[in-house]
Amino acid sequence: MTARLIAIPAALLASPALAASGPFFSLRNTDFIVTLSFLAFIGILLYFKIPAAIGKLLDKRADGIKADIAEARRLRDEAQDIYASYERRQREVHTQADEIVANARREAVAQAEKAKLDLQKSIERRLAAAQDQIAAAEGDAVRAVRDRAVQVAMSAATELLGAQMDAGARSAGIDRAIDDVGRHLN
């Protein structure tokens, strides 16, 4: 600590002002000339109000920075609002998409049930139509068999009667048989 106390006065004694020779207030002393120039420079700065102008410029710059900060805050708040709106919209769209999928599933199940019922009704109609065709075919077959049986019976009766009867009795028997068949068929 004592070394510091000694170093400070030694530094002051070794200043450049002490290096100049001659009196300090002489125009030959460079230190005096530099000091006068510095004081003249400071005077000129004060006369033209440069410190006030610099202060105004600094205040203007500070106001510009404050305005930029306020604008940045406003933009940040606006961006946060837009982001919140985007997130809200995204949730709404996600909810709508879920509803659309649920509705599509319900509609698909309903359409499948309807298609199943339509298919069952179509099968029932086709079965009924097939049964009607079978019944009609059976009726046709029965009529065909009956007609054939009548024809066979008539030809057998004709042959039988022809062998047993003479020509006059034969034609009277044929006429009666034709009348009988006509009555049975109608």
DSSP annotation string for 107-158: HHHHHHHHHHHHHHHHHHHHHHHHHHHHHHHHHHHHHHHHHHHHHHHHHHHH
HSE-up (13 A, CA, CB side) for residue 125: 6
String of DSSP letters for 48-67: TTHHHHHHHHHHHHHHHHHH
% residues pLDDT > 70 (the chain): 82
How many CB atoms are closer than 10 A to CB 154? 15
How far out from the chain centre does Cα 21 lie?
Answer: 92
Is pLDDT of 161 > 70? no
Q: Which of 122-126, 129-133, 165-169 has the lowest mean pLDDT?
A: 165-169
More confident residue, 89 or 153: 89
**How many Å apart are CA 166 and CA 65, to the nearest integer?**
146
At 11 the pLDDT is 47
pLDDT bin (cut points 50, 70, 90) of residue 147 is: confident
Q: What is the mean pLDDT of the chain?
A: 84
% residues pLDDT > 90 (the chain): 54
Is pLDDT of 64 > 70? yes
Is pLDDT of 181 > 90? no
In the predicted model, what is the mean pLDDT of residues 120-131? Answer: 92
CB crowding 107-119: b at 16 or more within 10 Å, else e:
eeeeeeeeeeeee
**How many Å apart are CA 122 and CA 116, to the nearest integer?**
10
At 8 the pLDDT is 55
Is pLDDT of 179 > 80? yes
How far is the CA of 164 from the CAs of 123, 167, 168, 169, in angstroms?
60, 10, 12, 9
In the predicted model, what is the mean pLDDT of residues 115-143? Answer: 90
In the predicted model, what is the mean pLDDT of residues 31-37? Answer: 93
